[in-house]
Structure 1
Amino acid sequence: MYKEPVKNFNKIRGYIREFYINGFKSRQDYTIKSSRSYDNEKRRIESYMSDYIDYHITPSGKVPYLSIDTRITQHNPLYRVWKTKSFTDHDIILHFLILDLLHTPLSMSELMDKIDEKTNHIYLYDESTLRKKLKEYVREGVIITNKKGKKNFYQLSEDYIISHDILDFFSEVSPCGVIGSYILDKQEKEESVFGFKHHYLTQVLESEVLYDLLNAIHEHKYVSLKTSRNRIKVLPLSIFVSVQDGRQYLVAYICQSKKMYSFRLDHIISIKCLEEEKNFDLYRKQLEEMKKHLWGVSLSNGSLETVEFTLHHEPWEEHIYRRLLREKRCGHVERLNENTSRFYAEVYDVKEMVPWIRTFICRIQSISISNKEIENQFKKDLEEMYRYYEVEEDDIS
């Protein structure tokens, strides 16, 4: 039977990503799950995101899609999918009973007795269930605990107010910003003072994965990563975020192959924490050394490749030289003369640099890449471009 709330966030996460990034597929085109699953998830998303649903007409009928203009969107609408978790009657009643009763300190037995009184013994919670719930709320900071003699006493923590603007900014730009969105929901609505040129909305779908990875890094623990292809044991070391598209990556040490590797967070389904690594700092130090030769996130096969090119710029084009200095990352820039500059870098994956190098095509005088396959492909692409424009030029004349 269809129900709007969901128990497993990964279920809706996959559909949101598929529909937002690729657009809704028709019922016939979507083959990952059954037709009934497609219908249920489509109805959920249409309910959560009704303000952002649009349609286009195809030969097979009207197909909906998510349309979000990040230039005018002040609050990430994808946070809505985090606020749809299902719960049982017992869960929600116990939650509010705890909040209601712990305005004064109570021991476990005292709390159990008062819950029984409040519910007229209709809802029976065993001590184990209550203990787990209290332990969770202590961990989350909802309640505090004090020991008196041999007994623990529980009480609600004090409320504190965080500035609306701080929460507003945090919720849109910080990792796991969904936390700020939850707190904002409890404050009076105010107009946002922020606008974003680059607003990477889909990062919110990886919040749970990111949170688990950050905890593992903080605690120096191995994790078992489950992806759509396999499950693998790694030691998480760092999180990288692309400033171009907002995509998030985990850089980790793979135990089986004994190599560093990067994983896209949107390809990770779930994470299970394992044992602690006593020599964690040694692996982090190794990564810090490797970062000196990282252009992006790719470590390729672990071997360094070199790239070198010279650029021509006119005397009035000093901004080209300054751009080289600004964007060189791990590379080196040398001014050969007034009109010529040289760029040199040793990186793990030259292929990551090719899009950037292409932006200087009309100025490149010479280029040399140690990976000859990439160099030959780069030059071949240039030759095809020249041929293309020569043909166009002949047609025009």
Structure 2
Amino acid sequence: MLQVQFVRENKAIVLEGLAKRGFANAEEIIDEMLNADETRRATQVSLDTVLADSNKLSKEIGSLFKSGEVQKANLLKEKTSQLKEHSKQLTEDLNTVTQKLQDLLYQIPNVPHTSVVAGKSEEDNEEIFREGDIPELTDNALPHWELAKKYDIIDFDLGSKISGAGFPVYKGKGARLQRALISYFLDKNAAAEYKEVQVPHLVNEASGLGTGQLPDKEGQMYHVTGDDLYLIPTAEVPITNLYRNTLVKESDLPITLTGHTPCFRREAGSYGAHVRGLNRLHQFDKVEIVRIEHPDNSYKALDGMVEHIKGILRELKLPYRILRLCGGDTGFTSALTFDFELYSTAQERWLEISSASNFETFQANRLKLRFKNSEGKNQLAHTLNGSSLALPRVLAGILENYQTEDGIKIPEVLVPYCGFEIID
């Protein structure tokens, strides 16, 4: 979430940034938030004064009793009782306004980076890079859901039987290709000095709040009500929360982590041909990279993440493009996001396969993730994350773009991981 002091000192910049997102009632909410903070600070001052007066009187009462001046002491005790009642009311008022301030801050998205353009939707995103040759397929080329059935490698009907739509079953060479991609992605990340971690697939509410999935995306997360836990929508959540309420050493930065997890998303309201097959699922696998950076280095680190993902797609020899998201399409917590899309030749459309984002201090402020700077002061770190990569659409792209009359060829870099060269 935004820092109140930053908003107070840079109100015009904040409103300008929120306007890029098309954030409704921005000025009204910002003013209400600042007023709540003014009330909170004034209430805290009043409470501190009352508590100080009460402590002072308590010492005087003790002295009076010691000197035998019982009557004076009892008079002051009545006054301390009044002060205690006043402090109790002020404490309740402080708790109420603090909660109000917190609730208002949770409603306000991050301020976009200056390079982000205004826009309402994905139609306004900027393409900044494109690479790779789009293969020419035969006239009888098939989309991946037909290929999956033809070669018996992914069973969508069986998944529906077990769980419902959006839960595919990978079989035979399909399962082995999925496993090969996971291992390949993790190896590439490890070679780039990302430390591999295995993390829980369910998180508590504090973790969801820490990285911004709650309360913004509560309706998109699966909630285990009996234990009040949430199935993770991405490994970003548990990995970043490893450092919740943590003061790290400046010398430890950057902290670079990677992990593979299943991801669970309700994707409420997602229907139609554009979400067919692997295009959109309720459960899928993803390999994530997470960075905790010094604020001075975070945008250089973001560029490095983009180059890292580009390197993976080059080795897979998949045609892709990079988009800089406009304000209206940038995620709630992000200051700047680059989306990677690969071209599905069989579907004749671009499929999002990765995003790399810098959240600046937005998540760190919620997480209370700080480091002690060179001046000895605690300072919020910057957090970043990226998909490296999400498997379903990468798998879909491989199946569709590598299909031939003889079967589906396996990208050369994956053959050592798969143990076979073709699905036939």
TM range (shorter): under 0.3
Q: How does the TM-score come out when normalised to structure 2?
A: 0.26
Q: Which structure is higher in RCO with an 8 Å CA cutoff and minimum separation 6?
A: 2
TM-score by length of 1: 0.27
